[in-house]
């Protein structure tokens, strides 16, 4: 009898632990979904951050669909079919949405190429200047006209 009750306790604890893991996984999945939807009830906020009672109802409905085994994509499609695509926090990767994903990458690559070209151009010009100054004495680097102007301006401070 003791063994039987110990076995029941062990099985119950295993089942509760498994239920907790599933619940935590559903919690994470739910939060990810809530963050992908702008709230129809709190303008400018994600569904996750909206304190409205209507938002809580919508989150409960979405959570229930996940618990019933619906894939997250299907739950999102249902929400957007009900409220509209303007509540997408993350643009869909289809049609115009592809541009939204690719344009920033294009700007990044253009910026990197520009920086590379400018950097290489400056390196070449600094190499040419340093090569032309290598054989010249330090005093001839500054022209006589500039020296005279510096002397004139310094004498005005005396």
Q: Provide the pLDDT for residue 3.
A: 64
Q: Provide the pLDDT for residue 77.
A: 92
Run of H or E including 25: helix 2-35
* Angle, helix 53-67 to helix 72-83, in steps of 10 degrees: 140
Which CATH code fits 28-98? 1.10.8.640
**Mean pLDDT in consecutive groups of 10 residues from the start of the chain, 158 residues:** 62 57 85 90 90 93 92 92 87 70 87 91 68 53 86 85
Q: Provide the pLDDT for residue 59.
A: 92
**47 near 34, Cβ under 8 Å?**
yes
Q: Provide the pLDDT for residue 138.
A: 52
**39 near 62, Cβ under 8 Å?**
no
Q: Where are the domains of the chain?
A: 28-98
């Amino acid at each position: 009898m003791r063994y039987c009750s110990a076995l029941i306790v062990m099985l119950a604890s295993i089942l509760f632990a498994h239920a907790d893991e599933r619940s935590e996984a559903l919690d994470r999945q739910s939060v990810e979904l809530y963050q992908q939807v702008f709230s129809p009830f709190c303008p400018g906020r994600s569904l996750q951050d909206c304190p409205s009672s209507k938002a809580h109802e919508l989150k409960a409905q979405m959570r229930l669909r996940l618990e019933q085994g619906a894939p997250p994509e299907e739950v999102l499609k249902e929400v957007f079919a009900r409220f509209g695509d303007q509540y997408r926090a993350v643009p869909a990767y289809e049609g115009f949405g592809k541009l939204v994903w690719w344009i920033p990458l294009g700007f990044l690559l253009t910026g990197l190429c520009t920086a590379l070209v400018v950097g290489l151009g400056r390196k070449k010009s600094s190499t040419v200047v340093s090569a032309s100054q290598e054989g010249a004495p330090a005093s001839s680097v500054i022209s006589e006209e500039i020296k005279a102007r510096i002397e004139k301006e310094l004498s005005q401070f005396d």
